[in-house]
Amino acid sequence: MQSKKIGKQTINYLHPVSIVSFASIVGPKEGQGPLGSSFDYILADNLDGEKSWEKTEQKMLEHSLALALAKKNYLAKDLDYFLAGDLLNQIVCSNFTARAIGTPFLGIYGACSTLVEGLVLGSILIDGGYGSRVGIASSSHHETAERQLRFPTELGVQRTMTAQWTVTGSGAYILEDNPNGADIVITQGIIGKVIDLGQANAMDMGAAMAPAAADTITQYFKDTGRKPEDFDLIITGDLGNIGRVLCQQLVLQSGYDISKNYSDCGVLIYDPAQDTHAGGSGCGCSASVLAGYLLPQIIEGKLRNIFLVGTGALLSPTSAQQGETIPCIAHGIVIQGNR
């Protein structure tokens, strides 16, 4: 039997797994950002007619899945599995969405790396022949994350220069085994290790997560023997301005120069004039940027292939208050176009 694993951590999908449909929803601030016009739906305000921000986030997740399904005229019952995760305690947005759609469901958590974790796992399910159609979704909401992880939203606090802005946004994806000429194909994935280099400042997640991202990126190149130039774009999930620079330096120290084609979703989603300081973060950051901005470019042939590395900080408010350092993780996925 041909091995589906290369090197230490990389997964090689032997059967092509294609992303047949995808959708993104973002909040108003993201809608005003440089990528604003590329998202499917922009919320009117941070409540969007719901009674609480938590409800808004849950609806956003549910609606992005509905959009992705509707684009292909599918119903939720056409999915073999639904994999989703978010940042709220006990991933309630995902649980409640699964309750609403009634599809076999696996809740997953990898903080802001959740989307890529879902894509890796969903592809494994399909490649392994355990199903032929899988839904993946992930979301975050600025206000729900602020009040859970930091301060009440109306408290007058100055944000530090290293602070990142949690993206209000969600993305949903439909994966299929589709042997005949799909536009977008997932060919490889890599499951990351938890890395902690002693950063404890919850206001500087980029610096905490950069080593995990760098580790996954270098490990992928080591495992596969590929080079940074082989990709049109290497993009991390939500390292922000500070983490992006650190990640690039760390990867360079390991002997790979990614400076020419490396970017970060958290850097792309906001304009510096929007005063978000170090850029965007959150599950919804990579989830909305991949669906809204990256995949359309692959379909159009502007990008032939990308290496998306989702990054997550695995802390809790309690662990942060107890002074624990922040363990971080990064999973990667290789997405290819067919043009």
Partner 1 sequence: MDLKEINMRVQERQRDLLQIKNFNDAEIQLINEELQKDYQKLVLFESKANDKEVRLTIKNLRNKVIEQQDLVKKYLQIRYARLVNKSAPKIPVLKNALAAFFVGGTICVIGQIILNVIVLNGVPNKEATAITLMVMVFISALLTGLGIYDEIGRFGGAGSMVPITGFANSIVSPALEYKREGYVYGIGAKVFTIAGPVLLYGSLISVIIGLTFYIIK
Partner 2 sequence: MFENIFNAFLIGGIICVIGQLIMDLTPFVITPAHVLVGYVTSGAVISAVGLYEPLIKFGGAGASIPLSGFGHSLAQGAIEGAKTKGLLGAIGGGFESTAVGIVAAILLGLSMATIFNPKG
263 — alpha (psi -120 to 50), left (phi > 0) or beta? beta
Question: Can you tell me which of 92, 100, 149, 245 binds partner 1, judged by CB under 8 A?
Answer: 245
Q: Is 154 in the site for partner 2 (CB under 8 A)?
A: yes
Which H or E run contains 22?
strand 10-26
How does 213-233 read in b/e, with b if 16+ C-beta sit within 10 Å?
Answer: bbbbbbbbbbbbebebeebbb
Strand partners, 307: 234, 334
The stretch near partner 1 (CB under 8 A) out of 86-94, 104-112, 151-159, 228-236 is 151-159
Smaller CB separation from partner 1, 14 or 161: 161
Look at strands 10-26 and 184-190 and give their pairing.
antiparallel
**Contacting range for partner 1; rule: CB under 8 A; set: 84-92, 96-104, 194-202, 227-235:** 194-202
Cβ(43)–Cβ(27) under 8 Å? yes
Computed on alpha carbons and rounded to an integer, the radius of gyration of the chain in Å comes to: 18
Q: In the complex, what is the shortest distance from the CB of residue 49 to partner 1, in angstroms, rounded to a whole number?
A: 15
Binding residues for partner 1, rule CB under 8 A, total 30
The long-range contacts involving 316-320, CB below 8 angstroms and separated by at least 24 positions, are: 317/148, 317/149, 320/149, 320/200, 320/202
Nearer to partner 2, 59 or 142 (CB): 142
Q: Is residue 146 close enough to count as binding partner 2 by CB under 8 A?
A: yes
- Nearest approach, Cβ of 210 to partner 1 (angstroms)? 8
Q: Which of 32, 162, 224, 319 forms a contact with partner 1 (CB under 8 A)?
A: 162
Is 132 strand, coil or helix?
A: coil
DSSP code string of 234-258: EEESS-HHHHHHHHHHHHHHTT---
Binding partner of residue 203 among partner 1, partner 2, none, CB cut-off 5 to 8 Å per kind: partner 2
Q: Which of residues 269-308 bind partner 1 (CB under 8 A)?
A: 278
Binding site for partner 2 (CB under 8 A): 46, 53, 142-143, 146, 151-158, 201-203
Q: Give the interface with partner 1 as residue ranges (CB under 8 A).
A: 51-52, 147, 151-162, 197-199, 204, 207, 211, 241-242, 245-246, 249-250, 254, 278, 325
